[in-house]
């Protein structure tokens, strides 16, 4: 699978860019995908339409948006672009506005970029690396941070108590192996961020062998709910899903191991 720094070339990075609103911010990020050969201009329109139809669910952490749409003929190859805005803009998100960092993802399929998304999630969850990315003086400096830090940190911090896994326990009830769904509008971007964070928590609990995590989209999630014990997703996607027959837990910050830990505790009442 492609590394994060391979999917995000220096030419796809713009820093301190002015934008009047969220649509202009997404157009700038989409324009960089076009310039670097990852997508056509149609894909930018698809990203904007995705937000208009599903709400600002891809604002997944304070000040950070992962703009994307479904794989389509408008995607020429899997790639990323990175835009740091001169001044933050409102995306309409209840918890994470205003947004200053917009990363756009063009995914040719649902799997080629999984490792890169996991690496980016780990970097943004690490306060020191996240600060270095936000404060990079130029695109070359930012790219150097990505290339140097990706994969070095496999776990996010945060205060926690003793977990069930550390006490030698396993998830209560149900099948020997449980499934939890992480859901976003398209199943290729933000759901992978949350999947990565949840898997880190499960590893720390000692439950990785007992619980599998599948990232999926809203349409598929309704059909797959019968196979799962719970869904973790954003507030906007939870509203879209409605009643699916299993618990749906809202996670505000998809990069936060602390919040995801709380969501897992709520799911299993531990």
Task: Give CA angle at 217 (212, 220), nearest 5°.
Answer: 80
| Burial per residue of 26-54, b for 16 or more beta-carbon CB atoms within 10 angstroms, e otherwise | bbbbbbbbbebebbbeebbebbbebbeeb
| Burial per residue of 119-136, b for 16 or more beta-carbon CB atoms within 10 angstroms, e otherwise | bbbbbbbbeebbebbeeb
User: Is residue 158 a contact partner of residue 261, using CB atoms and an 8 Å limit?
Assistant: yes
Q: Give Cα separations from 194 to 142, 146, 210, 257 (angstroms).
A: 24, 20, 18, 9
Distance CA(4)–CA(212), nearest Å, equals: 24
- Compute the Cα dihedral for 257, 259, 263, 265 and give only its sign: positive
Catalytic residue status for 178 = no
Distance CA(18)–CA(41), nearest Å, equals: 20
Tell which residue, 262, 244, 245, has the closest CA to residue 253. Answer: 262
Distance CA(176)–CA(208), nearest Å, equals: 12
**Residues with Cβ < 8 Å from 97, sequence gap 6 or more?**
59, 88, 90, 91
The catalytic residue among 68, 93, 96, 113 is 68
- Secondary element (H or E) of residue 182: strand 178-184
Number of H helices, E strands in the chain: 10, 9
Please list the active-site residues: 68
């Amino acid at each position: 699978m492609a590394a994060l720094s391979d999917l995000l070339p220096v030419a796809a990075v713009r820093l301190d860019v002015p934008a009047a609103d969220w649509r202009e911010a997404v157009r700038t990020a989409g324009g960089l995908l076009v310039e670097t050969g990852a997508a056509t201009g149609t894909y930018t329109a698809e990203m904007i339409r995705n937000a208009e139809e599903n709400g600002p669910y891809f604002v997944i952490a304070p000040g950070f948006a992962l703009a994307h749409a479904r794989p389509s003929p408008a995607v020429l190859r899997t790639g990323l672009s990175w835009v740091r805005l001169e001044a933050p803009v409102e995306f309409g998100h209840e918890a994470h506005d205003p947004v200053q960092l917009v990363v756009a993802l063009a995914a040719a399929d649902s799997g080629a970029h999984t490792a890169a998304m996991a690496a980016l999630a780990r970097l943004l969850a690490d306060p020191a690396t996240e600060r270095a990315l936000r404060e990079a003086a130029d695109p070359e400096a930012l790219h150097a941070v990505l290339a140097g830090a990706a994969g070095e940190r496999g776990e996010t911090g945060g205060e926690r108590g003793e977990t069930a896994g550390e006490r030698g326990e396993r998830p209560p009830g149900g099948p020997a192996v449980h499934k939890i769904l992480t859901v976003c509008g398209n199943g290729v971007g933000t759901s992978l961020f949350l999947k990565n964070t949840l898997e880190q928590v499960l590893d720390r609990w000692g439950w990785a062998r007992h619980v599998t995590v599948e990232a999926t989209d809203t349409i598929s999630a309704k059909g797959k709910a019968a196979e799962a014990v719970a869904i973790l997703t954003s507030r906007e996607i939870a509203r879209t899903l409605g009643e699916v027959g299993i618990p749906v837990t809202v996670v505000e910050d998809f990069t936060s191991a602390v919040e995801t830990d709380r969501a897992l505790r709520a799911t299993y009442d531990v």
